[in-house]
């Protein structure tokens, strides 16, 4: 069983939101499907940290969720800033059941086990405006992230974190989120959200204050899910 990750699928099979208007996103769904099927098996796990679908409601997201469900593997999804269709876990699981979706799992205030590893995370956020409402969102996301990590620790698992927003970007550190990583001794953190050459060039990858940071947005990975099995198994926790 292998572990893969890829953020920002930005699917729009049930909506009119073509991604090929952006450089590098031409035929991204076909490329993603090809790469996924050539390497991922039914017994594997795939982390999808946010910006799953452009849909505005659960009903509108159905074709996108069915597409992901049709692909091999167990998928663990979390919320991104564009996932307006996202709802409560109970409503989402009921929607999955009603529509025969069986391979999608929701990461929200919880964790999942993979070979002794706790797969943890939250959406995260950034305070670009400096407004109090953004600060509240960041603090709430930090609480959700910590709840996820604590759940892994309770189960005796070694936590690895998957965020949508970067905890560090260029010279800016998202302190409430990064403090959770520090406090719990997190060694590995994967994140998405950043698109385009300029954003990729300013992404922080590699070691930062003892945390290994990895950018895994879909266009950065060329729509090819990244096998992180050896990375998480060899990490020094």
pLDDT tens digit at each of 237 positions of the chain: 999 999 999 999 988 887 876 778 999 999 999 999 999 999 999 999 999 999 999 999 999 999 999 999 999 999 999 999 999 999 999 999 999 999 999 999 999 999 999 999 999 988 776 678 888 999 999 999 999 999 999 999 999 999 999 999 887 889 999 999 999 999 999 999 999 999 999 999 999 999 999 999 999 999 999 999 999 988 776
Question: Measured between alpha carbons, how far is 171 from 62 in angstroms, rounded to an integer?
Answer: 39
Domain spans, the chain? 3-234
Count of beta carbons in the 10 Å neighbourhood of residue 210: 10
Closest CA to 29 of 7, 11, 16: 11
pLDDT of res. 237: 66
Which strands form 3-5's sheet, in the order they lie side by side? 104-106, 74-78, 45-49, 3-5, 226-227
Q: Are 225 and 5 in contact (CB under 8 A)?
A: yes
- Reported pTM: 0.95
Q: Are 111 and 104 in contact (CB under 8 A)?
A: no
Q: Assign a CATH topology to domain 3-234.
A: Purple Acid Phosphatase; chain A, domain 2 (3.60.21)
Count of beta carbons in the 10 Å neighbourhood of residue 127: 17
Question: How do beta strands 112-114 and 104-106 pair?
Answer: unpaired
pLDDT of res. 81: 95
Kindly write down the DSSP assignment for every residue of 69-89, as one continuous string. HHSSSEEEEE--TT-TT---H
Which ranges constitute the DSSP H helices of 1-131? 28-39, 62-70, 89-98
pLDDT of res. 21: 66
pLDDT of res. 129: 66
pLDDT of res. 142: 96
Question: Measured between alpha carbons, how far is 44 from 41 in angstroms, rounded to an integer?
Answer: 5
pLDDT of res. 3: 98
């Amino acid at each position: 069983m292998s572990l893969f990750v890829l953020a920002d699928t930005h699917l729009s099979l049930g909506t009119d939101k073509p991604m090929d208007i952006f450089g590098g996103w031409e035929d991204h769904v076909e490329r993603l499907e090809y790469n996924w099927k050539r390497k991922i098996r039914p017994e594997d796990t795939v982390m999808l940290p946010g910006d799953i679908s452009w849909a505005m409601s659960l009903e509108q997201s159905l074709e996108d969720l069915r597409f992901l469900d049709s692909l091999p593997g167990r998928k663990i999804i979390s919320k991104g800033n564009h996932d307006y269709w996202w709802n409560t876990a109970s409503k989402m699981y009921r929607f999955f059941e009603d529509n025969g979706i069986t391979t999608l799992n929701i990461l929200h205030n919880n964790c999942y086990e993979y070979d002794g590893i706790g797969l943890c995370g939250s959406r995260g956020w950034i305070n670009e405006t400096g407004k109090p409402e953004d600060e509240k969102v960041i603090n709430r996301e930090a609480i959700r992230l910590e709840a996820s990590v604590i759940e892994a620790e309770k189960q005796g698992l070694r936590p690895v974190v998957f965020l949508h927003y970067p905890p560090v970007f260029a010279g800016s550190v998202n302190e409430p989120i990064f403090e959770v990583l520090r406090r719990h001794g997190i060694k590995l953190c994967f994140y998405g959200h950043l698109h385009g050459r300029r954003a990729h060039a300013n992404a922080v990858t590699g070691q930062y204050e003892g945390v290994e940071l990895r950018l895994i947005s879909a266009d950065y990975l060329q729509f090819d899910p990244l096998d992180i099995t050896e990375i998480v198994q060899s990490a020094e926790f």
